[in-house]
C-alpha cells in the first residue's frame, strides 16, 4: 500500500459559522493508494474525536498501525489497489492541522483560547478547500464513525454534489444531552486543573506527567465508549494481584485500566485541542439551520448507509434510526440502508469489531 503524508497551508481567509474569520490555516493529511486518471476513485475517511489523519499502515519504528488499519489497505474492505483513500486531520486537532496551540498564519503566535470556536461545518469547508486544491471535485464515497460520521452527514447535507455515497457509523444527527454531559466532565477537569494555567501552558508541560484533570475527564469519557457488558467480559471483578483488598486505594483491574488509559491519553493529546473538538461535537445539530431535521436531510442526494451498534451508549441506535425514518418520510426510503449491529462492545465497536460490519461497507462501496 502506497502511503503519502503531507500538509497544505492556506494563505486565505476561512469564514466560520460563528461569524469569525480564520486568517490562514494548515491541514495535515494522509493518502493511501493512487488517484486514477479522471480522479473518480477517491474515498474520504473522516476520523473521530481522538483520531488523526494516520488512518492506516505503520510509520517507521511504530508498533501500532493507523486507527482503521483493519479496514483500509490492499485487498481490504476499503481496497487501496482500487481506491485512493484520503484522511485529513481536522481543524482544531493537535496532529498537524491548525488548532489553538499551533500557528494559523505564518509567523503568528498560537492563539490558544483566542482561537475561534469551530463547528463540524467549518471543518468540512476547510477540507473542501483541500480537496479542490488536490483536484478532487467529487469523491466516490465519504465514510466516518462517531465525529467522523457527523462530518460525513455534513457533507451529504451541505455539499450534496460532492459524493454519491455517504457511510455513517456509530454517529448521530445531533449530540444528545447525555453525550454533552460526559464532555462536560472532561471540560471541567481540564479548566479547573491549576496546571492548565488558563490555556497558557507550554506544549511540553505534560509529556512526562499528563494534566491530571484531563486524565480524570478522559476516564469519564472512556466509560461512555464501552458498555457494562464489555467491561464485565474484559475485567469482571478481578483485583490487581499486587494490591491488598483491604487497602483503601487497592484497585480492581478495571480501575487500573481506567488510570492507565486516562494518564497515557493526557500525555499525548493536547488539552486545548480536546476542549475545542468536544465543543464542536456539542454544537453539532444537523437540523439547527433549518425548520426540522427533515428539512435539512432533504438536500441529500447521496445513497446513505447508516450503521449503529446495539451496545452503543454514547450515540444510541435510535438516533441513527431517526435519520432513516426522516429520509423515509421524505420518500427517500430506497436511498437509505440502516443496519443495527448486534454488539455489546459499546461505542468503540466501530474501531474494533470489523467482522461484524465490514460487509456493510463493502456492499455500500460496490452498490
pLDDT digits (tens, 9 = 90+) for 344-358: 999 999 999 999 999
pLDDT band at 167 (very low <50, low <70, confident <90, very high): very high
Active-site option among 270, 312, 339, 348: 312
What 3 state SS string does the chain have?
Answer: CCEEEEEEEECCCEECCCCCEECCEEEEEEEECCCCCCCCCEEEEECCCCCCCCCCCCCCCCCCCCCCCCCEECCCCEECCCCEEEEECCCCCCCCCCCCCCCCCCCCCCCHHHCCCCCHHHHHHHHHHHHHHCCCCCECEEEEECHHHHHHHHHHHHCCCCECEEEEECCCCECCHHHHHHHHHHHHHHHCCHHHHHHCCCHHHHCCCCCHHHHHHHHHHHHHHCCHHHHHHHCCCCECCCCCCCCCCCCEHHHHHHHHHHHHHHHHCCHHHHHHHHHHHHHCECCCCCCCHHHHHCCCCCEEEEEEECCCCCCCHHHHHHHHHHHHHCCCHHHEEEEEECCCCCHHHHHCCHHHCHHHHHHHHHC
Catalytic annotation present for 222: no
312 carries an active-site annotation: yes
**Residue range 314-327: mean pLDDT, rounded:** 98
pLDDT, residue 104, reads 72
Q: What is the pLDDT of residues 107-126, one digit of tens each?
A: 788 999 999 999 999 999 99
Q: Considering the entire predicted model, what is its pTM? A: 0.97
The CATH class, in words, for 179-279 is mainly alpha
Mean pLDDT score of the chain: 96
CATH number of 3-175+285-366: 3.40.50.1820
Catalytic residue among 98, 146, 230, 273: 146
Q: Where are the domains of the chain?
A: 3-175+285-366, 179-279
54 is catalytic: no
The confidence score (pLDDT) of residue 291 equals 87
Give per-residue pLDDT as tens, 217-226.
999 999 999 9
Amino acid at each position: 500500500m502506497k502511503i503519502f503524508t503531507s500538509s497544505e497551508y492556506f494563505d486565505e481567509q476561512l469564514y466560520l459559522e460563528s461569524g469569525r474569520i480564520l486568517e490562514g490555516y494548515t491541514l495535515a493529511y494522509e493518502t493511501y493508494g493512487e488517484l486514477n486518471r479522471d480522479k473518480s476513485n477517491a474515498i474520504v475517511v473522516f476520523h473521530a474525536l481522538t483520531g488523526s489523519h494516520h488512518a492506516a499502515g505503520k510509520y517507521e519504528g511504530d508498533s501500532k498501525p493507523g486507527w482503521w488499519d483493519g479496514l483500509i489497505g490492499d485487498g481490504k474492505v476499503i481496497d487501496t489497489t482500487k481506491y485512493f483513500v484520503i484522511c485529513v486531520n481536522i481543524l482544531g486537532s493537535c496532529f498537524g492541522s491548525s488548532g489553538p496551540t499551533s500557528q494559523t498564519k505564518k509567523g503568528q503566535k498560537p492563539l490558544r483560547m483566542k482561537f475561534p470556536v469551530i463547528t463540524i461545518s467549518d471543518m468540512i469547508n476547510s477540507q473542501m478547500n483541500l480537496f479542490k486544491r488536490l483536484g478532487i471535485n467529487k469523491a466516490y464515497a465519504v465514510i466516518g464513525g462517531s465525529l467522523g460520521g457527523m462530518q460525513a452527514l455534513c457533507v451529504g447535507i451541505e455539499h450534496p454534489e460532492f459524493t454519491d455515497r455517504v457511510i455513517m457509523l456509530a454517529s448521530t444527527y445531533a449530540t444528545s444531552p447525555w453525550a454533552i454531559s460526559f464532555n462536560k466532565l472532561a471540560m471541567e477537569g481540564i479548566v479547573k486543573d491549576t496546571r492548565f494555567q488558563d490555556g497558557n501552558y507550554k506544549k511540553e508541560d505534560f509529556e512526562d506527567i499528563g494534566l491530571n484533570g484531563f486524565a480524570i475527564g478522559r476516564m469519564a469519557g472512556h466509560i461512555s465508549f464501552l458498555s457494562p457488558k464489555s467491561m464485565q467480559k474484559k475485567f469482571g471483578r478481578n483485583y490487581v494481584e499486587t494490591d491488598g483488598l483491604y487497602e483503601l486505594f487497592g484497585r480492581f483491574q478495571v480501575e487500573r485500566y481506567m488510570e492507565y488509559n486516562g494518564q497515557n491519553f493526557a500525555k499525548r493529546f493536547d488539552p486545548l485541542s480536546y476542549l475545542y473538538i468536544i465543543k464542536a461535537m456539542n454544537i453539532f445539530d444537523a437540523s439547527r439551520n433549518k425548520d426540522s431535521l427533515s428539512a435539512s436531510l432533504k438536500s441529500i442526494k447521496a445513497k446513505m448507509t447508516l450503521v449503529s451498534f446495539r451496545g452503543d451508549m454514547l450515540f444510541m441506535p435510535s438516533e441513527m434510526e431517526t435519520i432513516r425514518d426522516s429520509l423515509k418520510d421524505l420518500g427517500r426510503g430506497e436511498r437509505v440502508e440502516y443496519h443495527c449491529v448486534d454488539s455489546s462492545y459499546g461505542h468503540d465497536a466501530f474501531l474494533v469489531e470489523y467482522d461484524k460490519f465490514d460487509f456493510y461497507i463493502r456492499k455500500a462501496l460496490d452498490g
